[in-house]
Amino acid sequence: MAEGDFLEMATTALGIGAPPRHVALIMDGNGRWAAARGLPRFEGHRRGVEALRRAVRAAIDLKISYLTVYSFSAENWSRPREEVQSLLGLLHRFIRNDLAELHANNVRVRVIGARSDLAPEIGDLLREAEQVTQGNSGLTLVVAFNYGARQEIATAVRALAEMVAKGEIAPESIDVESISAHLDTADIPDPDLIIRTSGEQRLSNFLLWQAAYAEFVFLPILWPDFDRAAMIAAIQEYAHRDRRFGRVEAPRRSAKTAS
């Protein structure tokens, strides 16, 4: 039996909730992984790309619908120039080398984060990844690049304010739905599970709005060591959580999944 089917059966049998539809990963700890081995930080990032490939494969096998990966934050530009250059180079190589395989695996790539201030070649590359895979119906891989949640919310609020100024909408019409609809993630469901590696327990400006009811799992391992077993362990912990969404009890599972 495939591991994904097994996991789904196990969680269903125990009545501990459905597997997560959307998993988000804060891929942290590349620098510390390299430092522990006396290697340059770049080597940690390079090995981090291999861990990302394992994470994508695991997400496909576990039948997760959306996998969001935090690859570069709006604040990461303040790292040393050489490190920023090496991270941009790795993104470039990841898309160049892996796009065909992602496409063959029916993966749809989406990119969130600010595009306007990116170098044209990076912008073109991200657009190409989205365009080539837009018709795919398998895993949606959401790449958060040059992403900052506060900036994303500010941009959405500015767009709504402009609509008010033009008389297109009334201020009273601004609500949770209209703000959500103006975020980069407009058509992506909120994350169910956010996993951060490296032992740090913070969001670092990731999906602040969308994480309102996400479950968090903080793993002590460093990102280059992330693998399928770590993903399964995090999902098993998630499966034991009692998600209440402000209610007294968790919403009842549907008859179909509870049978």
Residues that bind ligand IPE (CB under 6 A): 26-32, 70-73, 76, 87, 198, 200, 202, 204, 223
Q: Which is nearer to ligand IPE, 32 or 241 (CB)?
A: 32
Catalytic site includes residue 105 = no
Assess 28 for contact with Mg ion (CB under 5 A).
yes
Residue nearest to ligand IPE (CB): 31
From 154, 153, 159, 143, select the one nearest 73 (Cα to Cα): 143
Among ligand IPE, Mg ion, none, the one that 70 touches (CB under a kind-dependent 5 to 8 A) is ligand IPE
Among ligand IPE, Mg ion, none, the one that 87 touches (CB under a kind-dependent 5 to 8 A) is ligand IPE
Strands (DSSP E) found in the chain:
22-26, 66-73, 108-112, 140-147, 193-196, 215-218
Among Mg ion, ligand IPE, none, the one that 226 touches (CB under a kind-dependent 5 to 8 A) is none
- Tokens for 135? 């018709």
- Tokens for 172? 């009273």
Q: Which is nearer to ligand IPE, 35 or 250 (CB)?
A: 35
Catalytic site includes residue 28 = yes
Burial 230-258 (b: 16+ CB within 10 A, else e): bbbebbeebbeeeeeeeeeeeeeeeeeee
Question: From CA 24, how far away is CA 71, in angstroms rounded?
Answer: 11
Residue whose token pair is 């303040």 = 78
Q: Which is nearer to Mg ion, 17 or 29 (CB)?
A: 29
What residue ranges bind Mg ion (CB under 5 A)? Answer: 28
Catalytic residues: 28, 76
